[in-house]
Structure 1
Amino acid sequence: MSVLIVGSTALDSIRTPRGERDRLLGGSASYAAVAASFFVPVRMVGVVGDDFPRTYLALYRRRGIDLAGLQRRPGRTFHWAGEYEANMNRRRTLHTELGVFEQFRPDLPPSYRQTPFVLLGNIAPALQMHVLEQMNRPVLVAADTMDLWLQTAREDLLRLLRRVDLFILNDSEAAQLTGEDHAVAALPRLRALGPRWVIVKKGEHGALLSGLEGMFIAPAYPLRRVVDPTGAGDSFAGALLGFLAAGRGAWQTRLRKAMVYAAAVASFCCEGFGLTRLARLNREAIEARVRELQQMTRF
């Protein structure tokens, strides 16, 4: 099995209480693709400009990521700059330069259209729908979103949700979409919009899964030191889809295990700036951290 991941590819300038880094590899597709690559082959769709460093392309290739869907356009790569507050639960955007991403249209290579697992990363819902219209009956489609699309493209997002199997969002986005401030109360209202399963991410407090089979609560790995939380949510989504694609058996069992593996991978992401920690990660370290989570939550 393989995973198709569509999203943004960016250069990020990040400032946290732990330090500052300029023009790191970033974007939802980058984090999700690297995270998924620990479990299955990955096909990535995005766009970069002619200023995109070759070293970042080499990083993708070292992870075995298929780049036939990565468009290269004249101009500058999407650049985002942000700063985190002391507790890193809040951040503010300092600068956004869309560059070639402003005209991005995710047209898939023919070889990608049979991919069984699809993750529609954080891009405009109309573009996510455009991807779905090119696919040939995937086994499972997951979609991520952000508060911007809830404000500017709500109707497009609602149309998309009728066609996805798994919807992933954070607790503030769940409240914004449903009007329910409590994540547990929001879950049935989110599922009524169309998805078979909904995952609400709660950052350091873990994540909630809801489906016809019931609810599951996955813990977050308790980090002693957070360096940079950028991309943790995208890493969670990518690892989740990667593990699902690699697994077998009942969906509910696979989803529960996938959420724990996703939490482990997302925790590694927070231990370094950008993708620097994930770039040094291996499957053995992931398995060790999952065993820690199992031991800490067993009773």
Structure 2
Amino acid sequence: MSLTVIGTVALDSVTSPFGSLEKGLGGSATHFSASASYFTPVSLVAVIGEDFPQEHLDFLSARNINLEGVQKLPGKSFHWKGKYEEDLNIAHTLATELNVLLEFQPQLTPEQKKTPFLFLANVDPNLQSQAIDQVEEAPFIAADTMNFWIEGSRQALLNMLKRIHMLVINEGEARLLAKESNLLKASKIIRQMGPEILIIKQGEYGALAFYKEEIFSAPGLPLEDIKDPTGAGDSFAGGLMGYLSKTGKKDFESIKQGIIYGSVMASFNVSQFSCEALKNLSETQIKERYETFRNLARF
């Protein structure tokens, strides 16, 4: 099956204790698509400016990512600049230049309107709802968001949440959205907002999944080499949704499997800057890393 994602395609400038990147390939939909493309055909809905390098588009196309839904507008591409401390969980945003993202109005192609799986990556919840408005079938819809939208566009976000099946956010976002510090209580509050499935990303400590009365805890994999965690959450979601699209399933057991594949892809992605680690992975590498994750949970 196919998978459609709406989100940002950006130029990222990143500094960490392990190096730096100047206007490299970034964006929520970019990391998601690069990850998901190892499992299923991906179709991308985003906007770029006139300054966006052709080599980045060539990479995405080479990964079998359909770019027909990517609009190229006059002006500069969305640019994010950030810095990580020695503790890579601590990030500082130095600059956010929205540029053409301010003009973005998602336009799904006829093929994208019939997508069986739709992921709404981290963008304005009004844009996420616009994408939902355009789908013609009844796809499985999952979404991500961030503190900025939870605090600044709460009503628009709540309106969007009523229309999706699964939400993928981190611990801090879950607590902020639910206005509840206890994650178990927060999970119940959030699922009452609309999504029947909630995935809470916990970074290096793994992930939690909530569905009805079930709770699933996925392990985190200790890594020696982490250079750039910028796209970790997006590549996690890409592996998860890519696996679901590949199998055509959306039951909780399949979602558990997808969470492990998402963790696998995120663990590769953080080992290099930008999407470099997701350029030439082999099926064997992915399967071996998957088994490593499975062994962590065996006792």
TM-score (norm 1): 0.98
State the shift of 1:213 in Å.
Answer: 5.3
SS at match of 1:133: helix
State the shift of 1:223 in Å.
Answer: 0.8
Q: Distance in 1 between matches of 2:259 and 2:253?
A: 10
**Contact kept? 1:248, 1:254, Cα under 8 Å:** no
Name the residue aligned to 1:37.
37
The one-letter code sitting in structure 1 at the alignment partner of 2:183 is A
**Contact kept? 2:140, 2:250, Cα under 8 Å:** no
Matches within 5 A, 1:1-299: 1-212=1-212, 214-247=214-247, 251-299=251-299
Which segments of 5 or more consecutive residues in structure 1 lack a partner in the other structure? Answer: none
Q: CA offsets, 1:140-178, max 9 Å, x none?
A: 000100000011100011111111000111100011111
Give the alignment's Cα RMSD to 1 decimal. 1.1
Instruction: Count the aligned residue pairs.
Output: 299
Q: Distance in 1 between matches of 2:119 and 2:220?
A: 21
The one-letter code sitting in structure 2 at the alignment partner of 1:2 is S
The one-letter code sitting in structure 2 at the alignment partner of 1:277 is A
The one-letter code sitting in structure 2 at the alignment partner of 1:174 is A
Q: CA offsets, 1:1-49, max 9 Å, x none?
A: 0100100010000000001110110000100011110000000010111
State the shift of 1:280 in Å.
Answer: 2.5
Divergent runs of 4+, >6 A: none
Which segments of 5 or more consecutive residues in structure 2 lack a partner in the other structure? Answer: none
The one-letter code sitting in structure 2 at the alignment partner of 1:130 is Q
The one-letter code sitting in structure 2 at the alignment partner of 1:40 is T
TM-score (norm 2): 0.98
Q: Distance in 1 between matches of 2:89 and 2:250?
A: 35
SS at match of 1:118: strand
The percentage of counterpart residues that share the same residue type is 39
The one-letter code sitting in structure 1 at the alignment partner of 2:221 is Y
Q: Distance in 2 between matches of 1:72 and 1:284?
A: 36
**Contact kept? 2:200, 2:208, Cα under 8 Å:** yes
**Contact kept? 1:35, 1:239, Cα under 8 Å:** yes
SS at match of 1:228: coil
